[in-house]
Structure 1
């Protein structure tokens, strides 16, 4: 067994957290030999709910849990944090525009960023889930300047998992049969670019397995609007698929992706023509709590169109950053 790490979950009384917490406690996120001090943060009215959640987790008798703390104060919950999972954000409501969501969430992530900078360990890793995730992550990191930018990540693993699953369904195979990179680039929005042109199915090029029109015209839009389609079908946003993607992202980042390429929205560094200053989803490989951005050889027949899509997503992120008063 390793020494315990302190894991903070914000929005801990919410539906996604309810799907995540047992898996964290079971070792699915940080490994089966990693003890955890769990710190649950939510707003004051949710504290009674947190008390009930703690009782349930205690009743599960998870051997990896050292202790469980609850709070409505970010500076208390985030003190000495090793990992912070930022689920809490102002929710999208009917009639709202994306700009409204940005403005509402700016205050939340500014406060949490200041708390991180003040009380968390300088080695803390931070995964932002609350939307708009890329720009919320930027706001958070800007207000926690003493923590390295590479320690922050916004979630695009759900889009990644959706892309792999949709490809497998169309190819008539399992997700295990999809090989080669399937990656999400850019913003977690309708401007994201989905790259799968170099993927294979049981050794065959993906273009030879799925029909041309699906791959060139239908596939990317299906991934882009999948979240909305789920809301339309069930009346509520993705919950357990989002929770699964969060666990996947944490596990691969902290434990390792075992050579697999995964999608992570990380601080841009100039790769793929994207200047520094935004959090941009790119292909990564992970090992021992660190990620490395992978330089893919983009299919030459698609490269010009692909680069134009990346720039479109980048410009959207710059616009969001300006609305959040970062630039």
Structure 2
């Protein structure tokens, strides 16, 4: 077969084969789907999230997406069922869906990463152990994101256990990723508060705007109603669609705000009590839609982001603040004016986050070394008596979830029960053993976030 004629035929065949391969590669390059990775994909929240990601409303009907579902080996059968159901959606924007049970291949070519909770609260003996577990996970995930994901990847952290700290540790262990591309979702708590107010005022919750959540998404947080606006509220005063009434000019039941509103918010923890993932999935989808398509003009959205000293807060912690999404990025509403009392309380809320960071980095051994442990981290922010005075003025503890309502220079507040150093169930995990990141012997509980 080495005749001159056969050599000419072989050369032509090789040239044709090379041209065919080049054409195929060019065609494949035209197909450039958005790669979306979801960890702990066996969770209930993921089941509700997938249809929202594939309906074309978040990324647009012209953008195809490839879904990658990551979880433990023990969840393979459930992941296979989820993959089949996702394919059954027959979504025109879904290019592919795949399951992954090996960490080495995680986040490959990722454009968007959605990190759901990995901590099984029932089995963690102490707050410090929980923090170390979160840190260990980020020491695994961070380098994987750094190595496999695209440099422009957007990371959305959603969870019930030290979500702010997880975002911060990911920034630490994936230093080449822009810190502004790693955020923590706060809107679930914001939506719960809006729904409660809407039921009280007999209006649609979509008409409640600029309700702000400050602080720790999965710990001590502060519901700020001082800037909240009501649109399309059924009252004696009406106006065009742009007309609004300040909430505190309409809602006069201060007793309800001090008691029922605060207590209900601190005990909702909807993921664990009355929800199997619908509301959390919707908030993740909303954050992504705002990120890719901009948030409503003039509207403030609560988001856990890295602090660079805005509002006088300490730098280098992930803190929930009001932001706006525009042109594929977000920016903080730095022009927002806050009172001195609110500023003092925001500093107190930063104490837990600073202490969590110190424990995670090994700078201190205990989260709460004494009964008023959060004050240890606060000392360099304000003096001891200032902290006590701020709490008394605001009427809200440094732990748990609080609401402050400013009107005519006065502040209405209420203290929620419990204090974090007590290791009660509203602040910390129950006793037990820590399970590893990928462990086939652990069942997945219904996902939820820690009660604040």
Taking the aligned partners of 1:326 and 1:271, their CA distance within structure 2 comes to 26
Taking the aligned partners of 1:219 and 1:190, their CA distance within structure 2 comes to 18
Choose the corresponding residue for 2:309, options 270, 273, 282. 270
| Paired positions, count | 319
> Is 2:256 the partner of 1:214?
yes
> Is 2:353 the partner of 1:324?
no
Alignment of 1:282-293 (within 5 A): 282-293=321-332
Unaligned runs of 5+ in 2: 1-29, 232-243, 364-452
Alignment of 1:194-209 (within 5 A): 194-202=223-231, 203-209=244-250
> Is 2:287 the partner of 1:257?
no
How far apart are residue 188 of structure 1 and its match? 1.3
Taking the aligned partners of 2:336 and 2:230, their CA distance within structure 1 comes to 18
In the alignment, which residue of structure 2 is the partner of 1:137? 167
Choose the corresponding residue for 1:306, options 342, 345, 348. 342
> Is 2:268 the partner of 1:226?
yes
Alignment of 1:146-165 (within 5 A): 146-165=176-195
In the alignment, which residue of structure 1 is the partner of 2:197? 167
Classify the secondary structure of the residue corresponding to 2:54: helix
Taking the aligned partners of 1:81 and 1:315, their CA distance within structure 2 comes to 34
Taking the aligned partners of 1:150 and 1:142, their CA distance within structure 2 comes to 13
In the alignment, which residue of structure 1 is the partner of 2:134? 105
In the alignment, which residue of structure 2 is the partner of 1:191? 220
How far apart are residue 168 of structure 1 and its match? 1.6
Taking the aligned partners of 2:261 and 2:353, their CA distance within structure 1 comes to 23
Residues 98 and 250 of structure 1, relative CA distance in 2, 3 Å threshold: farther
For the Cα contact (< 8 Å) 1:28–1:247, is it kept in 2? no
Q: TM-score, normalised by structure 1?
A: 0.90
For the Cα contact (< 8 Å) 2:44–2:276, is it kept in 1? no
Taking the aligned partners of 1:18 and 1:87, their CA distance within structure 2 comes to 12
How far apart are residue 241 of structure 1 and its match? 1.4
For the Cα contact (< 8 Å) 1:187–1:281, is it kept in 2? yes
Larger RCO (CA under 8 A, 6+ residues apart): 2
Residues 135 and 95 of structure 1, relative CA distance in 2, 3 Å threshold: closer
Worse overlay, 117-126 or 24-33: 24-33
> Is 2:155 the partner of 1:126?
yes
For the Cα contact (< 8 Å) 1:182–1:196, is it kept in 2? yes
1:268-310 Cα offsets, whole Å, 9 max, x none, are 11111112211111111102320011135446xxx23311221
For the Cα contact (< 8 Å) 1:185–1:194, is it kept in 2? yes
How far apart are residue 48 of structure 1 and its match? 2.1
Taking the aligned partners of 2:340 and 2:263, their CA distance within structure 1 comes to 19
Residues 81 and 95 of structure 1, relative CA distance in 2, 3 Å threshold: closer
> Is 2:279 the partner of 1:241?
yes
In the alignment, which residue of structure 2 is the partner of 1:36? 65
Q: TM-score, normalised by structure 2?
A: 0.66
How far apart are residue 177 of structure 1 and its match? 2.3
For the aligned residues, what is the CA RMSD?
2.3
How far apart are residue 154 of structure 1 and its match? 0.9
In the alignment, which residue of structure 1 is the partner of 2:99? 70
How far apart are residue 220 of structure 1 and its match? 4.5
How far apart are residue 88 of structure 1 and its match? 4.0
For the Cα contact (< 8 Å) 2:215–2:221, is it kept in 1? yes
For the Cα contact (< 8 Å) 1:157–1:264, is it kept in 2? yes
In the alignment, which residue of structure 1 is the partner of 2:351? 315
Larger CA Rg, structure 1 vs 2:
2
Worse overlay, 216-225 or 148-157: 216-225
Unaligned runs of 5+ in 1: none
Residues 22 and 30 of structure 1, relative CA distance in 2, 3 Å threshold: same
